[in-house]
Each structure stands twice: as C-alpha cells, then as structure tokens.
C-alpha cells in the first residue's frame, strides 16, 4: 500500500447521484410537471414500499428524523413529569425531542465495543416515571434488541427505536425499526438512505399509534379543517419521496458495499497498536453508516492531523456526550458519572465511509493510519 497525495473525503454522495442521475431526474421532472408537490400517490407509494421493506404494517412519512421521534413521543402521550431512558452518546435530536414534549431524558452509559446503549444498565434506570426507552442504533450498528425488549416488556415500557443511521440494519434477522413499538428514521443526505434534503419516516405495527401520528403530523386534523388536538406541520415533500423510492431499491446493494469496506478496514487495522476497531455483536448486522475507531492515549488530534496531512479526512461523532452539554446542566449529571461515554467522546474518529469508496482510497486510508500510529 503506497501513500497518495489525493484527498479522500470522509463522505461523498456525488458519485452515488451520478450513478442514478438519469432515473432521479426523470422522476423529479415528472413530479414537477404533475403540479402535486405535497402528498398524493407518490407519498403513498413510498410509505408502502418502506413499510414492506421493514416488514411492518404502517409507515408514516414526515419532515425529518427529529420530527419522527417527536411524533412518536406525542403519540405515546409522553408529557411533563415523565422520564425517557436513552443514550448520551448520540446526536442531540434523540434527547431534544424528549425535552420538547416536557419530559426528562435519563441517560444510561454505553458499551465500549459497540458505542450503543448498555442494555445491562437500563433496568436499574427504570422508575415509576419511565414512560419510554429510546435505543439508538448508532453508526448503523444495532442494539441488542432481544435483551432490551425483555426488560421493556417486563415493565410494559414502549420502545422507540432511533434508526436515523441504520436503515436496513438487522438484529436477529429482523430489520431495526420493526422490533420495538415504533421505529424512527432520518433521510438526511449523509445517512445510508439519504434524500436530497430533509426527510424522515416512522414505522409501527400498531394501527392506533399510526393513526394518531398521522393526525399530529398534519396540524392535528382528524378531518379537513377539524382539529382533534394541537399538531405540527411535518410532511415529507413529494420530490424527496420520489427520490427515496428510487434509492430504496438500491439500498441493500449499497449496504453490502459498506460492509465489504468495513470488513477490509477491520482486516488491516485490527492489529494496529493504539487503536480499537468497532465490534459487531453476534446476531447483529450493521449497515456501517460510519466506521468509527478509537484512538487511545490522548493522541486523537495528533493522529487526525497526520491523517489530514496525508489526504485522509475524518469526522468526530460526538466530541461531548449529551449529559455534559450546557443545555442539560440542570439535570445534575457530573463529570465521571457516565465514564464510558465520556472516555469515548475523547477517542472516537470516523474514517471515510461510503459505498463508492474505491480500493485505492481504502488503501490510502489504511496506509495513512498505520503511518500515523507509528
């Protein structure tokens, strides 16, 4: 493997678009010429296809992954004084929506190997005020849903799966988003199933929850101009739906290519001193939205600078866990209370990862890491 001076981006969706440009352009132009830009059969087609892909009876398209989580909490009636258990090692949208409905986020530490919620610690965090659990399938890696559902079902607590980074991932041969009571997805352009703008979706097998989320997302309308509750405006644009409908057909192939890249990274980086590679639990199938390593001994910034000098761009998700963020100081968490999340926030680095990453680019990343760690 030889060093190259070419720049390897952390993420690139231009090649993906180029491969399906003709198909996407024709579909978008058809929507534009139809004059139907909100709702209609294109939205219905996407919802049906997305539900079928996940093996669920209901899909509700919405404006974003954040809105998907918000609508789920609203549909479950979670309100002021309630508690929702989740991870502090995720994007703030996961806890932001809990605060938005007036409830309290309760953070549980993560597993050092998978970066996901430590399921073994969830039971101890449950109180009489716990009204939901939100596991995040972080970086495309599924949470141990068998163990989590046993805990949740034993206490009759709804589970909302945050699948923002994990469309197509599986636990025990079942798609994430179909295991808990509700699944929430994001189609932000950097996701493994990304649109050309914001977008989100919700999956569930509960028809009553589905019906309520459809009402809330459309201004609380039970019938046109008749409002049963205060809702929001959270619609998926028709143009995004038609693009996502096309991309959904390619998703399994793209996810397979991500897996091949991740396997190659793991093969060549597993024995490099000073780093720890991500783990995939038995029973889980990651879609590798990110390939995130840990750089030990407080050397992350030095190593990242060396990588950048060698043309390899990386990302950090997430530099400060949520329980220590200024916005959540009133919750009373202290430094050292969730030690694994705090440690990993200082160590994690996500390597270039997208389906079109060439062998030459992969070799450049691997070579650069080996050189940097020397």
In a domain, 9, yes or no: no
Q: Taking all residues of the chain, what is their mean pLDDT, rounded to a whole number?
A: 97
Question: Does 214 share its domain with 264?
Answer: no
Contact indicator for 272, 294 with CB cutoff of 8 Å = no
pTM of the model: 0.97
Question: Does 292 share its domain with 236?
Answer: no
In a domain, 34, yes or no: yes
In a domain, 293, yes or no: yes
The whole-number average pLDDT for the span 231-256 is 98
In a domain, 215, yes or no: yes
Question: Does 61 share its domain with 166?
Answer: yes
Using CA atoms, how far apart are residues 74 and 132, in angstroms rounded to an integer? 11
In a domain, 4, yes or no: no
Whether 2 has a pLDDT exceeding 90, the answer reads: no
Q: How far is CA 51 from CA 26, 60, 245, in A?
A: 24, 9, 12
Question: Does 20 share its domain with 164?
Answer: yes
Contacting residues for 93 by C-beta, under 8 A, at least 6 apart: 65, 66, 69, 164
In a domain, 366, yes or no: yes
Domain containing residue 355: 251-373
In a domain, 2, yes or no: no
Give 24-40 pLDDT, tens digit per residue. 999 999 999 999 999 99
Domain boundary among 245, 262, 282: 245
DSSP string, 240-257: HHHHHHHHHHHHHHHHHH
Structure token digits, residue 3: 């060093």
Question: Does 31 share its domain with 82?
Answer: yes
Question: Does 104 share its domain with 230?
Answer: yes
Question: Does 229 share its domain with 298?
Answer: no
Give 293-344 pLDDT, tens digit per residue. 999 999 999 999 999 999 999 999 999 999 999 999 999 999 999 999 999 9
pLDDT-based confidence at residue 5 (cuts at 50, 70, 90): low
In a domain, 38, yes or no: yes
CATH number at residue 330: 3.90.1150.10
Domain boundary among 229, 245, 261: 245
Domain count, the chain: 2
Give 166-200 pLDDT, tens digit per residue. 999 999 999 999 999 999 999 999 999 999 999 99
CATH number at residue 232: 3.40.640.10
Question: Does 55 share its domain with 165?
Answer: yes
Question: Does 157 share its domain with 115?
Answer: yes
Domain boundary among 245, 266, 287: 245
Residue 15's SS3 state is helix
Question: Does 215 share its domain with 288?
Answer: no
Contact indicator for 37, 159 with CB cutoff of 8 Å = no
Question: Does 201 share its domain with 319?
Answer: no
Question: Does 239 share its domain with 256?
Answer: no
């Amino acid at each position: 493997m030889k060093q190259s001076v070419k720049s390897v981006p952390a993420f690139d969706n231009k090649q993906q678009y180029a491969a399906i440009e003709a198909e996407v352009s024709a579909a978008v132009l058809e929507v534009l010429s139809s004059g139907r830009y909100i709702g209609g059969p294109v939205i219905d087609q996407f919802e049906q296809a997305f539900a079928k892909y996940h093996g669920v009876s209901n899909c509700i398209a919405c404006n974003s992954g954040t809105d998907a989580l918000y609508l789920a909490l609203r549909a479950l009636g979670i309100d002021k004084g309630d508690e929702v258990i989740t991870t502090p090692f995720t994007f703030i949208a996961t806890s932001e929506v809990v605060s938005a409905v007036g409830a309290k986020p309760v953070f549980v530490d993560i597993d050092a190997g998978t970066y996901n919620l430590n399921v073994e610690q969830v039971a101890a965090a449950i109180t009489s005020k716990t009204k939901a659990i939100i596991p995040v399938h972080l970086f495309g890696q599924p949470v141990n849903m068998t163990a989590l559902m046993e805990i949740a079902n034993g206490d009759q607590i709804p589970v909302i799966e945050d699948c923002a980074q994990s469309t197509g991932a599986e636990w025990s041969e079942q798609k994430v988003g179909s295991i808990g009571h509700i699944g929430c997805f994001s189609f932000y352009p950097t996701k493994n199933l990304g649109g050309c703008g914001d977008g989100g979706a919700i999956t569930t097998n509960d028809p009553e929850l589905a019906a309520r989320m459809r009402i809330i997302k459309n201004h609380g309308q039970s019938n046109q101009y008749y409002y049963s509750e205060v809702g929001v405006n959270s619609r998926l644009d028709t143009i995004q739906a038609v693009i996502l409908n096309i991309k959904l057909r390619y998703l399994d192939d793209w996810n397979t290519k991500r897996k091949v890249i991740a396997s190659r990274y793991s093969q060549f980086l597993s024995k490099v001193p000073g780093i720890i590679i991500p783990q995939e639990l038995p029973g889980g199938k990651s879609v590798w939205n990110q390939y995130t390593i840990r750089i030990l001994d407080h050397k992350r910034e030095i190593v990242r600078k060396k990588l950048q000098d060698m043309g390899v761009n990386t990302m950090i998700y997430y530099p400060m866990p949520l329980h220590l963020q200024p916005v959540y100081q009133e919750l009373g968490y202290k430094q050292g209370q969730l030690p694994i999340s705090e440690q990993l926030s200082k160590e994690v680095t996500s390597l270039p990862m997208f389906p079109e990453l060439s062998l030459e680019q992969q070799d450049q990343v691997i070579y650069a890491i080996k050189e940097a760690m020397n």
